[in-house]
Amino acid sequence: MAAFRYQLPSHGLLQKRPLIVKGEDMDFERFGSGFEYDLIYASAVFLHMPDKLVWVGLERLKPVNGRIFVSHNVKFCSRLGGDECRERLKSLGLEYIGKHTHDSLLFNHYEIWFEFRRFK
């Protein structure tokens, strides 16, 4: 609800008609087939999921020409170690770009976002 009430309107994104779905298995076939993602925004999502499921999600949702932003932490990656994480991301066709911070609209602090993208 926070996305529809605050985040999306504040960035002028409601006209894009985002679809927000709650699920526990990272099965995105309910969206249909042939969809390509240009932006994936995971706000505190991976924080509350087992590492194995996060990697399944990254594999299934990797954007074709876009980016993935993950908030709060990337423990699913740091628990593996730098080299192993890079190799695992590489096997999915993804690379880690870096950290960004921005002022949170929902909380009274800055948030850290970790950016990933497809290899160019």
Domain that holds residue 84: 39-120
pLDDT in the model for residue 28: 73
**Does residue 83 lie in a domain region?**
yes
**Does residue 32 lie in a domain region?**
no
**Does residue 34 lie in a domain region?**
no
**Does residue 45 lie in a domain region?**
yes
pLDDT in the model for residue 44: 77
pTM of the model: 0.67
Q: How far is CA 28 from CA 9, 11, 32, 66, 115, in A?
A: 25, 25, 8, 18, 21
**Does residue 80 lie in a domain region?**
yes
Q: How far is CA 92 from CA 10, 18, 77, 101, in A?
A: 32, 25, 13, 25
pLDDT in the model for residue 87: 92
**Does residue 21 lie in a domain region?**
no
Domain count, the chain: 1
Q: Give average pLDDT by consecutive 10-residue segment, the chain, 120 residues.
A: 83 81 74 73 79 85 77 80 88 88 66 81
pLDDT in the model for residue 108: 62
**Does residue 112 lie in a domain region?**
yes
**Does residue 30 lie in a domain region?**
no
CATH at 80 = 3.40.50.150
- Write the Ramachandran bin of 72: left for phi over 0, alpha for psi from -120 to 50, otherwise beta: left
